[in-house]
């Protein structure tokens, strides 16, 4: 069973906008607000993708378990059909012995 590794969400660093010529305070504040919105959106999308990947990994694990159980049941059904399943034979013999009063 594979598990996806959980990765740490990378948070964007605060940018110094003075270097790109945003010396007007209104422009600067608008740019900061835009970058903050972008950062929130990226982080939200990252969380959604991580959640979806975790969900898919869980479904994959469940499918693997179901496949293994299915194979076990097929093998047991084959043994029962052939009369070689020890647990079934033991239960039947015990039931017959109880009915006959032997045990």
Q: Which two tokens stand for residue 32?
A: 């900061």
d(CA 8, CA 43): 11
By three-state DSSP, how is residue 94 classified?
A: helix
The tens place of each residue's pLDDT in the chain, 103 residues long, gives 455 555 566 666 666 656 666 677 887 788 888 889 999 999 889 989 999 999 999 999 999 999 999 999 999 999 888 888 898 899 999 999 999 998 8
Predicted local distance difference test score (pLDDT) of residue 70: 95
- Structural domain boundaries of the chain? 17-99
User: Cβ distance 29 to 72 under 8 Å?
Assistant: no
Predicted local distance difference test score (pLDDT) of residue 96: 93
């Amino acid at each position: 069973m594979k598990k996806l590794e959980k990765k740490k969400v990378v948070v964007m660093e605060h940018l110094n906008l003075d270097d790109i010529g945003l010396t007007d305070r209104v422009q600067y504040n608008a740019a900061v607000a835009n970058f903050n919105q972008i950062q929130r959106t990226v982080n939200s999308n990252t969380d959604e993708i991580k959640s979806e990947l975790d969900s898919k990994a869980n479904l994959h694990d469940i499918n693997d378990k179901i496949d293994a159980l299915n194979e076990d049941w097929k093998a047991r059904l084959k043994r029962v059909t052939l009369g070689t399943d020890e647990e079934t034979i033991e239960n039947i013999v015990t039931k017959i012995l109880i009915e006959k009063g032997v045990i």
